Amino acid sequence: MHTLRLAALSAGLKAKKFSSAELTRGFLQRIAAHDKQLNAFVTVAEESALKQANAADARLAKGQAVALTGVPLAQKDIFCTQGVKTTCGSKMLANFIAPYSATVVQRCDDAGMVMLGKTNMDEFAMGSSNETSYFGPVRNPYDLNAVPGGSSGGSAAAVAARLAPIATGTDTGGSIRQPAALCNLTGLKPTYGRVSRYGMIAFASSLDQGGPMARSAEDVALLMNVIAGFDSNDSTSVDTPVPDYTADLTKSLAGLRIGIPKEFFGQGLDTKVEQVIRDALKQYERLGAKIKEISLPNSGLSVPTYYVVAPAECSSNLSRFDGVRYGYRCDQPVDLVDLYKRSRGEGFGAEVKRRIMIGTYALSSGYYDAYYLKAQKLRRLISDDFKNAYKEIDVIMGPTSPTVAFNLGEKTDDPVTMYLSDIYTIAVNLAGIPGMSIPVGFVGQRPVGLQLMGNYFDEARLLNIAHQYQQATDWHLRAPKGFE
């Protein structure tokens, strides 16, 4: 059953070929058997998962099920989950039990889905390799010596290794798309405001966005039907109609206009990765698409812009973790200042401290105009580049990552090199548009992802474009050895 995708799992449950309880036990057994190799899960919620599965079976028996009732999933450990530990990959929240559920979690619960557990992640979603987690690094199922990407590396590894059929992730600068690319998955970062951020622990509030990670575009579409939509609890949620994301999956791509940014194919892109991407673009031409070279002239400024905006917002958001109200508290503080200093000093890891310090500096008196304000102006220029491009084309394509998965420890001592792992993904977050990564091949045994970038609220078209490619190829069906 672990080899089946969501539509087949849903059909099997409704046809009573197997029960949700049987399905859930099967995935829990796979987690017990394989997760020691991967470290993909922080928490396995066996008891509550089986209760949810039994409740789903009761709904199925009464004919009250919806599309994904009884289907298991994994939730990234950044989404608050009532009664279940929510750590954000940090010592600061290592024992935090959320008193409420995030909207994404609640909507999955309301649909009758079964949460298998919470997945490991870079601490407070800050990282590109899933090596900054307080609970240790996650390993890539395709090569256990390699990183799975970050920050949603636990979700990526869990789905790639067939420990869960689908998982949630979050994407602030590429943290759904990059691990999806490195683990041979389909991952979607929706338009900013399309999926509620309520109960999603904040890193950079104007950039963070939750979304699905799965083996196919169809699976992603099915979960988007559950989690997308307006939420009055989230002031950044956009009140616009939500389509059925599965409705247009089979539409022809004849006449599709694909823009290829020349800036994405220059220095820094691995030549073998480029060849795989070029081959994928040829497949799109065979499907009837037209390819045109375009320019995103300000995209080269996306990394420096992001690393002013995101740390500034993280500095503000993480100020709440002070050792007073919740989270880690140091032992025997001598006074309030000592409580603040030692609780934050001991509770946060090195990468989180680095970004807090950068952000605090950028927001400080005398530097706000020089750094933060200028970064916001550049952000508008980057967004305008996309708006201008979509006047002539329907979708933008290019590599998701400049390289395949790198080895564990390879970049941990060089933060700037690590930051450049997201050079092709960050602009999408700065502009707020939807972005997606799909599997298109391998370099050796390590996967390569193609990035699709669409206009605002154009997720349905991206899913159609991805699905049609996946009907013509089988890269997304490949499984890592030892986890088939």
| Active site (catalytic) residues | 76, 151, 175
Buried b (16+ CB within 10 A) or exposed e, 359-392: bbebbeeeeeeebbeebeebbeebbebbeebbee
Place of tokens 């995708």: 5
Bridge partners for 213 per DSSP:
167, 187
Buried b (16+ CB within 10 A) or exposed e, 298-315: bbebbbebbbbbbbbbbb
Distance CA(208)–CA(123), nearest Å, equals 14
Residues 6+ apart with CB under 8 A from 101: 79, 80, 81, 82, 109, 199
